[in-house]
Structure formats: C-alpha cells, structure tokens
Amino acid sequence: MISKAMEKALNGQINKETYSAYLYFAMAAYFDSENLEGMAGFMKVQAQEEMGHAMKFYNYINEQGGRVTLDAIDKPQASYKNPLEIFQLSLKHEKFITDSINKLMDQAIKENDHATKEFLHWFVKEQVEEEDHMAKIVSKLERVGESGQGLLIMDAQLGSRK
C-alpha cells in the first residue's frame, strides 16, 4: 500500500511523463515540417519512451492498490527557432523531470516507503541517461552551428535511433 499523499504525487508524475511524450511529439512535428526526418524519428522514439514511463507509474499505482487519476495535459510549444533550441529545451525539460523524480524520492524516504524507493531507483538512473543523451546532442549541435551539411549528418545520425 502507498499513502494517499504518495498516490497523489505518483499520479502527478503520470501527468508529467505524458506531457513529456506530448512535448516530444510536438518537436517531432516541427522536424517533420522542416524535412528533418531523422530528428523527427528520434523525437517519436523519445515520445514513445515517455509513454512507457507514464505506464510504469500507472502500473505501480495499481499494484500498490492505489487509484490512477488522469489530469489535463498542458499544450506544448508548437514552433521553434532551430534544432539547437529544441534540444536545449529538451535538456531543460529533462532536468525538470529529474527534479520531480528526486522530489518523489525525498517523499518516499520521508514516509519510509521502501517499495516506492525501490521503484523510483530505475527512474533515478534513467534520468542520468536522459540528461546525458540530450546534453551530448546540444554540444554537437553547438559545434555544427550554421553548417547545413553538419545538420544533415546529425539528422542522419539521430534518425538511426530505434
């Protein structure tokens, strides 16, 4: 069993993970509109991963005898300046998610909720990977700068993500 406060907090995380999927879909749509299909594909895979994260929270709440309740999803930003801005925003967003996971962990520790701590460990590690991934892409895009050729190489590389 989880506490009512923990149930509420975990439901809040379902909303954030689902919003993440929505945000990455919006970014994919921008890339598709710019004919950067590789980057669009990368963002579609990312969006699917985020729905997987939301489902992990969904299943965990149920396993713990809690009630899943879904809230409205915010509208994501639809237009962007360029790929660099998108990946900078992605990195910023992942830092926000990391902070949210850390707050959930703080709550689990405070409540002596060992099962939730164990459940959240996967997300703590996942967020290290997510931030690292986005930070590396930002760094490469900064080097690419205004080079159209560099951008196309990056597009091809990011499109190989399965």
Residues at the contact surface with ligand FEO, assessed by CB under 6 A: 17, 20, 50, 53, 94, 97, 130
CA atoms of 62 and 130, how far apart (whole Å):
26
- Radius of gyration of the chain, Cα coordinates, nearest whole angstrom: 17
State the nearest-atom distance from the C-beta of 93 to ligand FEO, in Å: 7
Cβ nearer to ligand FEO, comparing 94 with 113? 94
Closer to ligand FEO by Cβ: residue 20 or 107: 20
> In whole angstroms, what is the distance from residue 138 CA to residue 45 CA?
18
The distance of closest approach from Cβ of residue 126 to ligand FEO in the complex, given in angstroms and rounded to an integer, is: 7
Nearer to ligand FEO, 23 or 108 (CB): 23
Q: Name the minimum Å distance from CB 20 to ligand FEO.
A: 5
In terms of C-beta density within 10 A (0-12 exposed, 13-18 middle, 19 or more buried), how is residue 78 classed? exposed
Q: Name the residue with tokens 């963002």.
A: 43
Instruction: Select 125 or 152, whichever has its Cβ closest to ligand FEO.
Output: 125
Joined tokens for residue 51: 């729905």
Structure tokens at 67: 């009630």
Closest distance to ligand FEO from the beta carbon of 4 (Å): 24
Q: Which residue is nearest to ligand FEO (CB)?
A: 53
CA distance 117 to 128: 17
**Smallest distance from the beta carbon of 12 to ligand FEO, in angstroms?**
13
Would you say 43 or 141 has its CB closer to ligand FEO?
43
Give the separation between CA 157 and CA 162, rounded to whole angstroms. Answer: 11
Q: In this structure, what token pair is assigned to residue 138?
A: 């930002």
